Structures are given as structure tokens and as C-alpha cells.
Amino acid sequence: MSVNITFLGGADTVTGSKYLVEHGKQRLLVDCGLFQGYKQLRLRNWRPLPVVPGQIDAVILTHAHLDHSGYLPLLAREGFRGKAYATPATKDLCAILLPDSGHIQEEDAAFANRHGFSKHAPALPLYTRRDALDCLDQIKATPIGRPFQPLKGWQARFTSAGHILGAASLLLEVAGRRILFSGDLGQPDDTLMNAPDDPPQAETVLIESTYGDRLHPPEDVATELGPALQRVAARGGVAVVPVFAVGRAQLLLHTIAQLKASGQIPKSLPIFLDSPMAVHSTDVFTKHPDDSRLTEREVTAMVRAATMVETTDESKALASRHGPMVILSASGMATGGRVLHHLAMHAGDHRNMIILTGYQAPGTRGARFAAGEKMVRIHGQDVKVEAEVVQLEAASAHADANQLLAWLRRMPSPPDQVYVVHGDMEASDTLRMRIEHELKWRAMVPEHGSTWPA
């Protein structure tokens, strides 16, 4: 019997990763992500999957970012009863991110209902905090490097992918086929994370392509961030920094701690981390010291670099403060959460600054800020953008095109087939062409919803 993969997400787009692997009557879902960005993508979250959740036997998560894990509460609520395997750090982060995701959706729905800007009456969350809490017991922590059996007759093993705490690549062996899922790969010289492990041998490879058509600049984050914070501090402005709660928030705090220690930015410049999710995710670094490059002293300095803002009242109190100050707040692409309130308040003042810290998926507010749009819609209102917008090119947690190819080259021998996934169409197709021309391997970009042999 053959092994097939159906691309239920992370195909044609950089979001919503879900890969359904089928053999006989067994079904395993690799990653269980939310779609983000364009409305037509986000609407996919509300549509039933082409497979009944109760007929999925197991899930394996490569890491905790919501575009890889954020659909799990809904899958479980709709009938999935199996185990979801993840690395220990990924399990710990999911225990923070998934309930927070449900809470934000409830808050956003309630806000929309209070202010009447939703087209739905009433606006509803995709899932609730309770739904997320209910699914956490199904996540089984599985260490990197230790083989495990997600289903009878199936073998699996995680290898380190860098990227964020707990992120892994996955080697899946079923019916004599070895399938390698890259997951999201980090940079080999990342400031926070260890380099990705070399890929094991496999016949089929799914490679991410977030930066499949781009190269990262030679500068480091401090070189970009230092002058930006100097400028906004000098003019008494407020820097609003949309951050991914896991990874970029910690990188920015670590960099700010270094910039203050070296005197490159004023030690008195107030820094606030306004995201309970990011606050708790920062604590996870102390629990998994081997998952990052940071020393114990650097982790302590990172935690102390900002005033941690947890309650809604504390967040609202920031509105009464004047600059200079820096507010880091989730989400990283400005798609929801508290950062929207800060952006709505501060985007209209030319003294202020919006600092974008990572990849901005098309269709997100972050992408609109990056494109220089002068009017951005937030909470049903058009907000004028007069603030300086700074895009940090060196802050990416993803490998660039050359680094992705270098990772593939380290495979012991060429695979039979490469599927290029988790990228915008241009990025995916550019990487596909480079794989075909430079490596001479078979590669294709699968369409959303398509099924191909493993």
C-alpha cells in the first residue's frame, strides 16, 4: 500500500501548515497550524477539514508557533482524540500560546461586539481559552533524538531545527518510506538558537521556503536596532514593536540588554514587554537552557531588560505615559492582541516609530506598514500612519535561501522528491528552481488541497 501526503495548509502560502500523511486506514497530521494574513486565508480556519478530525489518529507538531500549532484546540474540540507529539519545550510553549490564542480571540470578538464593527452578529471566537486548555493533555513530550512510535508500525524522530525553543525537523518512517519534514529552519549563526542539525537520509523531503527568494543582510540585529532606538529616544517618541511572543520578543530583549550595557542606547530608556504570552515564554528559556546559545547570565539580563506587563489594566496604563519609551507587544505581524491598541494610539505621531521584527505575511497589517501604507485599518477604524516605520532585516528566525540549500546539501544522498512548502508563491517557486538547477533534484510546489505520493 502506498503512502500519500495531502497538503491541507502551508502550500501556496507561508501559513496554516498541515500535512496529512495516510497509509492504509491510518492517518497522521504533521503540524496543525492556523491560517493568518489575507482574509481568504483566514476564512479557511472556519471551514471543515476534508478529513473528519475524529478519523485522524495522531498529530506531530514541529514547533509551537501558531501557524504550526494554533489549530489544535479546534481539531480536538471537533473530535480528535489521539496524541499530539512535540518536543518538551514545544509542549511548554503550547501551554502558553494556545490558551492565550483562545483568550485573544475571545477578547477580539467581545471588542467587535461592543463596538459593532463585525459583519457577524454576534462575532464569535474560532475557539476559546477553555478549548485550548482542554487539548493540552493530548500533547505528549518527546525528546529530540529519541525514536518514538506515533502509530503502530510508524517510526518517528525529531532533530533540532534551530528557529525557536523546541523547534524540530521530523523524520517519519512508514511502509519503507522515509519522509523528512524540515519544519521551520533557523539560521546557523542565530543569536539565540543553536544551529539546525544536519538532515538525515530520506526519500521524500518537505522543505520550508519562507525566505526561499531572499538572503539575509550581513549586519546583526544590534547594528540595525541601536540607531533606531537612539533616534526615537532623542526625539522623545514611542517605539511600538510588534513581536512574535516566542523568539523575536526574546531576541529583542537580549539585544536591548546588550545595547544598554554597551552604552549605545540610554540606560534610562523605559522598555515594556506588554504580552502575557511573551512574558511567560521568556520564562521558558530558563527551563530549557540547552535549547539556546544564551548563558544563564544572559538569560537573567534578558528577563530584566523590560518591565513585564501582564494585566489589561497595566497595559491600558501605558496609554497615559509619554515618550521616550519602547513597547514590545504581540503579535509579530500586528494581526491581533494588545499591540493593535498601541499602534492605533501611536501610529499617527511623526515622533514615534513602528519597528517590524520579522517576516510579515502578505495581507497582514505588518505587511501594510512595511509597504509604507499611510492608512491602516485597526478595530474597524482607519488609522493614519505618520510614525517612522523600521523593518529589521537581520531579526529573522528563518534560514534564508542559501542556508536552506546548504541544509539540503548536507543530506547523505539525494532524495527522490522534494516538496517546497510554507512560502509565498514567489519564494517557493524560486527555491524550487534553485533545487532543480543547482542540486539537480526533483522538486515541486504542491497546491493547497492536493495529494501526492510520499
Phi-psi region of 303 (alpha: psi -120 to 50; beta: other; left: phi over 0): alpha
Supply the pLDDT for residue 123.
84
Q: Where in the chain is the domain with CATH 3.40.50.10890?
A: 221-391
Contact 29, 19 (CB under 8 A): yes
Among the listed ranges 63-77, 116-130, 278-292, which one has the minimum average pLDDT value? Answer: 116-130
SS3 content of the chain, % helix, strand, coil (to 5): 35, 20, 45
Interval 363-399: pLDDT, tens = 899 999 999 999 999 988 999 999 999 999 888 889 9
Q: What's the CA gap between 91 and 106, in Å, rounded?
A: 23
Asked if 431 and 213 count as a contact pair (C-beta separation under 8 A), the reply is: yes
Contacts of 216 by beta carbon, 8 Å cutoff, 6+ apart? 187, 393, 394, 396, 400
pLDDT tens digits for range 299-338: 889 989 999 998 989 999 998 999 999 999 988 889 888 8
Within 8 A by CB and 6+ apart from 270, the residues are: 307, 321, 324, 325, 326
Q: What nine digits make up the cell of 43?
A: 476564512
398-440 pLDDT per residue, tens: 999 999 999 999 999 999 999 999 999 999 999 999 999 999 9
What interhelical angle do 296-304 and 248-261 show, nearest 10?
A: 90
Residue 230 to residue 37: CA distance in whole angstroms = 32
Q: What is the CATH number of domain 221-391?
A: 3.40.50.10890
Task: Name residues whose C-beta falls within 8 Å of residue 102's C-beta, 6 or more positions apart in sequence.
Answer: 73, 125, 127, 128, 129, 130, 131, 132, 133
pLDDT value, residue 362? 85
pLDDT, tens only, 188-245: 999 899 999 999 999 999 999 999 999 998 889 999 999 999 999 999 999 999 998 8
Reported as type and span, the H/E element at residue 316 is helix 312-317
Instruction: Find residue 378's DSSP bridge partners.
Output: 381
Which of 2.60.40.10, 3.60.15.10, 3.90.1150.10, 3.40.630.30 is the CATH number of 3-214+397-453? 3.60.15.10
Residue 157 has a CB neighbour count (10 Å cut-off) of 18
DSSP letters of 160-172? E--SSTT-EEEEE
Contact (CB, 8 A) for 326 and 267: no
Every domain of the chain with CATH number 3.60.15.10 lies at 3-214+397-453
Q: Which of 254, 3, 288, 333 is nearest to 166 (CA)?
A: 288
Q: Which three cell numbers stand for residue 332?
A: 509579530
User: What is the 8-class DSSP label of residue 46?
Assistant: G
What is the number of helices (H) and of strands (E) in the chain? 14, 21
Name which of 319, 317, 313, 343 is nearest 329 in CA terms. 343
